[in-house]
Structure 1
Amino acid sequence: MQKIRFKLLTPMLILMLSTSVVSTTGCSFPGVYKINIQQGNIITQDMLDQLKPGMNKRQVHFVLGNPLLDNVFDDTVESYAYTYQYAGGKTKQQLITVYFDEDKYTHYTGELLEDNPAY
C-alpha cells in the first residue's frame, strides 16, 4: 500500500516542481535594476550649427565625429544614427544624414531627439 502511494506521489511531485520552475522563469523578478542604454553618435544642435556648406569630409568629421554607418554604395551620404533606451523602456531613435557634393558638405536632414539625458 505504501509503495503504491509513493508511486502516485512521485509523478505528481515532478509535475508540480516542473510547473513551478517554468512559471517562475517566465516572470521577471521585481526590483531588477535596468540601466539606460545609448548607442551611436551623440549629435547636438550646437554641432549641427557649426556645419557650413563647402566644408570637406575631414572638417565635418572633426565636428560630428566619424559616422556610425558607412555607406559603401554612395560616398556622398553619411548617416549618424543614435538610439536611446531608458531603463528597459521604449527605444528612441535619431538619424542625421549628411550630404556631400564632390566631397564638400551641402546639407543635412533629420531631427534631433527632443529630450535626451545624454546631452
Structure 2
Amino acid sequence: MRWKHIAAVSLVLATMTGCSLVDKLVYRIDINQGNYIDQTAVEELKFGMTKEQVKFLLGPPMLVEAGFPNTWYFVQYLKPGHEEAQQKELILSFDNNGQLVGMKGDYSPGASFFKAIQ
C-alpha cells in the first residue's frame, strides 16, 4: 500500500512540473520581423543626408505613409525563442528637398549627426 502512495505522489508531481520542463526543452525559433536596425549604422546618419544615402545605410523603410512621404518608419520586432518580445523603432523626418532633418525613436544618434547641425 505504501509504494502505491509514493508512486501516485511521484506521478502527480511529475505531471505538475512536467509541462514547464518540457516547454523549455522544445525548440522555438527566433522570430525577426521588420527592419534590422544596427546601432552603428544609425550613428553614421548625418543631418542633411538625402533619402538615397539613408536608404543605403539602413535599407528601405518599413512604412512610408501616403500622406506623409517625408516621414520614414523603421520598425524591428524580435521574439527570441523562450524570451519576451522586443520592439524597437526609428522614425526619420526629411524636409521637402529630401534631406534628413530629424530622428527619434529607440536608437541614439551619433555625434556626427549633431555636428552637422552647427
TM-score tier (shorter): 0.5 to 0.7
Name the structure 1 match of 2:6: none
Q: Deviations over 1:6-40 (max 9, x none)?
A: xxxxxxxxxxxxxxxxxxxxx89923211111111
The equivalent position to 1:56 in structure 2, one of 26, 43, 50, is 50
Name the structure 1 match of 2:103: 108
- CA gap 1:50/1:74 in 2 versus in 1, 3 angstroms: same
Say whether 1:33 aligns with 2:27. Answer: yes
Say whether 1:77 aligns with 2:59. Answer: no
Q: Deviations over 1:51-107 (max 9, x none)?
A: 111111111100110001221120110000001111043211001000101111112
CA distance in structure 1 between the partners assigned to 2:75 and 2:36 by the alignment: 8
Q: Which one has the largest radius of gyration?
A: 1
CA distance in structure 1 between the partners assigned to 2:48 and 2:34 by the alignment: 26
Structure with the largest fraction of helix: 2
Please state how far the C-alpha of 1:48 moved relative to its aligned partner: 1.1
Please, what TM-score do these two structures have when normalized by structure 2?
Answer: 0.65
Name the structure 2 match of 1:7: none
The code of the aligned residue for 1:105 comes to: L
Name the structure 2 match of 1:97: 91
CA RMSD of aligned residues (A): 1.9
- CA gap 1:73/1:29 in 2 versus in 1, 3 angstroms: farther
Q: Highest relative contact order (Cα 8 Å, sep 6+), 1 or 2? A: 2
The code of the aligned residue for 1:74 comes to: F
Q: Secondary structure at the match of 2:63?
A: coil
Please, what TM-score do these two structures have when normalized by structure 1?
Answer: 0.65
- Structure 1 stretches of at least 4 aligned residues deviating more than 2 Å after TM superposition: 27-32
